[in-house]
Amino acid sequence: MRRIPKAMRIGLPLVAAIGLWGISLFRSQKPDLLRDVVEPITIVGGMSIDDGGSHSLTIEDARGKKIAVCLLDDFGGNTNLVVGNGKEPDLRDHPVGGPEERKFLALLERWCRGDADAQWWDDRLRRYKFDELKGEALEKGAPSGDFDLKARAVDMLQTLRLRNKP
């Protein structure tokens, strides 16, 4: 049986460690898109994705910067939050309950507190989920305007609240 030379026994783990460090450094250098958001935000886009239940929103901050956010719920069991600016290389996957998810939750909470229509939807969706509407249509009495986007954003907010309970 041949012995592995000492240089290889030390060198290979060292090269692997440096490689892993480089990968983590590259991943950590991607921009933190939520950190630089200037409030107030506006919900400018949203959709449900036919992959099992994922939902996405596009928010625009006070400077006009757009950020795409997707709350995954795919058939493979991925439920992470994905944040990006709409360009594939800039997408970042964040774990459930992680700091970025909590940061986005706080951003949506502040948006909801400052938007009367969002507050209406927050109450209405909560009552709907607890079957308190007694067969009444969910949209009955809905505020006019972009209620579909606000309802989607509030639904995502409620999901994030449940996932991030202390």
On whether the CB atoms of residues 122 and 157 are closer than 8 A, the answer is yes
Q: What is the pLDDT of residues 139-157, one digit of tens each?
A: 889 888 777 899 999 999 9
Q: Which residue has the tokens 């949209």?
A: 139
Compute the C-alpha angle 43/67/129, nearest 5°. 45
Predicted confidence band at 75 (pLDDT cuts at 50, 70, 90)?
A: confident
Q: What is the pLDDT of residues 82-91, one digit of tens each?
A: 888 766 556 7
Query: Could you tell me the residue ranges of all domains in the chain?
Result: 1-30, 42-163
- d(Cα 143, Cα 2) in Å, to the nearest integer? 78
Instruction: Give residue 150's pLDDT.
Output: 94
Q: What is the pLDDT of residues 59-68, one digit of tens each?
A: 999 999 999 9
- What does DSSP assign to residue 64? -
